[in-house]
């Protein structure tokens, strides 16, 4: 079913592009009648929604990654540094360059990730 939806989306994107090419000529009325000028606009808006949705999903993923990693490394500003993710890939690069370096291992008490060498686990507080 998912493959069918992807195929329909691809064919509608290609069809919308063909209509726009046909509309460039002298006989623009024929191109609009073939699929409808409104159809090309809908496909364009659908494409924009997919692109913006992907960007928003990427930013949310980066924010969650930064927060989880900052907590595991025992950073005192873990709740405020996650907002670097709003800068997207540049914010992720800034975070990766300034975070404490070290290996992440599971805590023996709670099993959550924590950086080696920390006195206490940031999640459970045990040694």
Residue boundaries of the structural domains of the chain? 56-127
Residue 42: count of CB within 10 angstroms of its CB = 12
Query: What's the pLDDT at 58?
Result: 92
Query: What's the pLDDT at 1?
Result: 56
Highest averaged pLDDT of the listed ranges 17-26, 60-69, 80-89, 117-126: 60-69
Q: Is residue 61 scored above 90 in pLDDT?
A: yes
**How far apart are the C-alpha atoms of 104 and 124, rounded to whole Å?**
16
By CB atoms closer than 10 A (0-12, 13-18, 19+), residue 112 is middle
Q: What are the pLDDT digits (tens) for 19-43? A: 555 555 555 555 555 555 666 677 8
Residues 78-99 have a mean pLDDT of 86
Higher pLDDT among residues 74 and 37, named by residue: 74
**How far apart are the C-alpha atoms of 17 and 44, rounded to whole Å?**
9
**pTM given for the model:** 0.60
Residues 90-101 have a mean pLDDT of 88
Please, what is the average pLDDT of the chain?
A: 76
DSSP state of 119: S
């Amino acid at each position: 079913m998912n493959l069918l939806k992807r195929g329909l989306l691809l064919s509608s994107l290609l069809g919308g592009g063909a209509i726009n090419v046909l509309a460039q000529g002298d006989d623009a009325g024929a191109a609009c009648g073939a699929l409808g000028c409104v159809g090309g606009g809908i496909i364009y808006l659908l494409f924009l929604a997919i692109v913006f949705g992907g960007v928003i999903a990427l930013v949310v993923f980066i924010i969650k990654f930064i927060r989880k990693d900052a907590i595991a490394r025992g950073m005192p500003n873990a709740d405020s540094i996650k907002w670097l993710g709003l800068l997207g890939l540049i914010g992720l690069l800034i975070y990766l360059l300034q975070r404490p370096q070290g290996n992440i291992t599971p805590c023996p008490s709670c099993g959550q990730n924590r950086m080696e060498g920390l006195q206490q686990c940031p999640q459970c507080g045990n040694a």
